[in-house]
Structure 1
């Protein structure tokens, strides 16, 4: 495999630390698996804002990525090292508490009412109009920033939700397979959504390497990814994971139309917009499958998970509102939405 292919499909390079815990963890990961300092990460219990804490969110991302593609030059045995899992748990606890606080207390409807409750939850969301701003007035540099933020997820698109597959059976599993097959291009590399996004990045002159922009994105961007991993890696949160996917799909079609139109306004061609154009049609179908067949099927089989489904959806919407507000507030103030210490001119791969 060539060096270029390694950067696209292989492990990401380790990022820079953002605080004492991530610094200690990064130093450890560069060595063979071993015990970590006792109580490493215990201070996360007193963090005021776990969603926006750079050290906590990077620590979680470092731990979670070991379950995806791993890290360059990091021993794969770290994935299940008990001391590392203990650090991860110390970061997860306050993060989950914060997610439940921002999600509020969604009602626990009867199983048959879950699809309608998801529709109501999405319809009531009044988050910042990021998609409208990108469609109508964002400059090319701002659109590139948006794509940099989203690259953390889109270059591994669908992977976090695939953790649910072995944890489901029956109609819910069939519905998730139907959605995921589209996300993975029905087995064709050139149609995988992650590859379509990589093409958009290249059209914008951005580095398309996997994990190339981790140092540039802030904690809130990492949090939008970490909550999927949190839900996906804990079987007890499988209902929240499916609720997250439902909210994701149900709020995708119209924004993606606007993203595509924004790129066309900026003079980009159909190659650059294909990722967004593909989602306009695909997600209009996916949202129905996700609400009625996926989440509806899950709670018919496991009625006790109805509240978890709505929690996952509400958490997804709440964290994405905060992400959107971060970008819009930065742009309104005339500054970059990327981390100031790491803002550099993007380099095409």
Structure 2
């Protein structure tokens, strides 16, 4: 379902898809994204609800409302065409800003409403999005169509898990020259992420680096946060449960609340680390209310993982058959030692990362 209010500056998109990365029969993934220009001072312009019912999880993202169809300005008519068997006029634009090829097009019905909309970026349409609109209704929309979901209105951010104690974790994250840890994954979810991107040829480069982090954290997990760029060019983590380390099942599947408090034995877990919860250097966990501390153990290249240790072949065999134990084992062995006889990868340069504390041998 897609609802669009151009004059009011708001839209809503509800979608259901069957994801087959983990299980051949698929996992039902439901999302409900509400975007609005006038949510109020200090509020985010995009809220996405993942899941259904009592287990639904709200993720508020620090983005302003953007009109989906604003990119159609500047398009030119390419004549009549059709979409879904319905006649429509095709409008399209190809451009090359900063050397990056972009294509945008829409097939617009006689009522002025698009029946299809496409946008692609990259030399070979590397990233491409296509919408098809059917059963189009033009007219006033009920205000309920743009009401926040129950999860966003009443359960955001989610309460921390009831688990107590300290968790010692071995996690993996893309190399950060700044040495900051904002998000990291366990071995199973790292394997899932790599295998998904390898299959779609997205976001992987032979020059990429993967770091292993040793982490101690308070095990009362909070909501997994969005960590990345925000409006104005800054960054940070948004939508988390205060100082609590965030957690969810990889890509969303898992137990209740997206796997925040469940085992996630089949898909693995993602973790987010709020800067305000990090323990000062040398401080004990819990000191001053800090919730996590971490150091990087090793860093290796994607090339060694995918080519030398043949992770790409393990990915192909394990897709749809979670847990991806073989792929996870390759990642663990590659970062456990530099010995190729034990499946290890050589150390890659790592600048700016917080190293393991020195050990005094007497």
Q: So what's the TM-score if we normalise by structure 2?
A: 0.22
Q: Which has the higher contact order (CA 8 A, sep 6+)?
A: 1
Larger radius of gyration: 2
Normalising by the residue count of structure 1, what TM-score does the alignment of the two structures yield?
0.23
